[in-house]
Amino acid sequence: MNIKIDLPIGIPAVALVSTLLCHGLPWPANFELALKINTILAEEGASPAVVALIDGLVRVGLSDTELENLCREGSKAVKVAARDMPYVLATRHLGATTVSATMWAAAKAGIRLFATGGIGGVHRDGENSMDISADLVELARTPVAVVSSGAKSILDLGRTLEYLETVGVPVVGYRTDTFPAFYVPHSPYALSCRINDAKLLAAVIRQQDSLGLPSGMLIANPIPAAYAIPAITMETWIEEALEAAEADRIAGKAVTPYLLAYLHRISQGKTVEANKALVLDNVRLAARIAKEYASLRE
């Protein structure tokens, strides 16, 4: 198998996407964020497992030099979902993994926890366009727990949750009774399960293991209050961004990056700062769960 795992022995690992570093932020802000992530993980007693496709290999865990080179390449890297991996590996392109590809690699490497900003989901008007992220499919079939601030605000959160319920993916709120809306800490969508500490979250994941259930788990962690954007403001910006995307005839894979770039401009950078803050918070929570989970397996 074309996978190379380079992780320290005996330290719980947290899987990390590389699309955030390559396509979410420019150089050197992306590398600065990567270093902050590494610092948080070290503080919590965990190790970073950045996933990327390099020289025909799925890499799980990068050296500092490799991480810096990846960040320097930035958007030159191909954005890789799970379905894209065979082509990118065969052509030896540099690949930045999305949630679905990162989950696949994490499972192969025996990593149970994965931190990201927000998952993909059902797009608005998805009932007509059938634009549904592969992240949801991967959550249904890959036993990795994903810590995120819900799904991206630009999506149809209600239908995203319905899809996850249909395919048997548990969604657990961390200190919240409603599903977070990425930049917005709360949404109208109630969650059936709330857990307030990392130790119990780890125990739930362990029970999922013992039952042999095939799916992953979504742990929904709201954005820190200091960086949250009011729901009304966010919805106004999103509606404007969607109208602009339609006017510019943006479709397919180009929709999400277009909308996020539009929100960055209209918010005068607030959405990017919010994104960085919630990622760091999710990394810290994932590290704490990973450490508790490791202690349960000893």
Question: What are the domain boundaries of the chain?
Answer: 1-111, 117-298
What's the CATH fold of domain 117-298? Indigoidine synthase fold (3.40.1790)
pLDDT at 154: 86
DSSP reduced 3-state for 7: coil
∠ CA(249), CA(255), CA(257), 5° rounding? 130
The kind and range of the H/E element at 60 are strand 57-60
Residue 108 burial class via C-beta count within 10 angstroms: exposed 0-12, middle 13-18, buried 19 and up: middle
Strand-strand pairing, 57-60 and 113-115: unpaired
What's the CATH fold of domain 1-111? Indigoidine synthase fold (3.40.1790)
Give the number of other CB atoms < 10 A from CB of residue 269.
9
Instruction: Indicate the pLDDT class of residue 4, thresholds 50, 70 and 90.
Output: very high
pLDDT at 265: 95
Instruction: Indicate the pLDDT class of residue 41, thresholds 50, 70 and 90.
Output: very high
DSSP reduced 3-state for 151: strand
**In 3D, which of 120, 187, 185 has the Cα closest to residue 158?**
187
Residue 239 burial class via C-beta count within 10 angstroms: exposed 0-12, middle 13-18, buried 19 and up: exposed
In DSSP notation, 61-108 reads S--HHHHHHHHHHGGGSEEE-GGGHHHHHHHT--EEE-HHHHHHHHHH
**Which of 195-210 are b and which e, b meaning 16 or more Cβ less than 10 Å from the residue's Cβ?**
beebeebbbbbeebee
**Each residue's pLDDT tens digit, 85-124:** 999 999 999 999 999 999 999 999 999 999 999 999 998 8
Q: Is the peptide bond before 143 cis (omega within 30 degrees of 0)?
A: no
For the cut 80, the answer to whether the pLDDT of residue 135 exceeds it is: yes
The pLDDT of 171-193, averaged and rounded, is 97
pLDDT at 298: 66
CA distance 16 to 153: 21
Strand-strand pairing, 3-5 and 13-16: unpaired
Asked whether the domain spanning 117-298 has the same topology as the one spanning 1-111, the reply is yes
Amino acid at 145: A
User: What's the mean per-residue pLDDT of the chain?
Assistant: 95
For the cut 90, the answer to whether the pLDDT of residue 17 exceeds it is: yes
Sequence-ordered list of residues with C-beta below 8 angstroms from that of 295, at least 6 positions apart, any chain: 202
CA distance 247 to 54: 37
Residue 34 burial class via C-beta count within 10 angstroms: exposed 0-12, middle 13-18, buried 19 and up: buried
DSSP reduced 3-state for 217: strand
∠ CA(135), CA(139), CA(142), 5° rounding? 120
For the cut 80, the answer to whether the pLDDT of residue 1 exceeds it is: no
**Could you tell me the pTM of the whole model?**
0.95
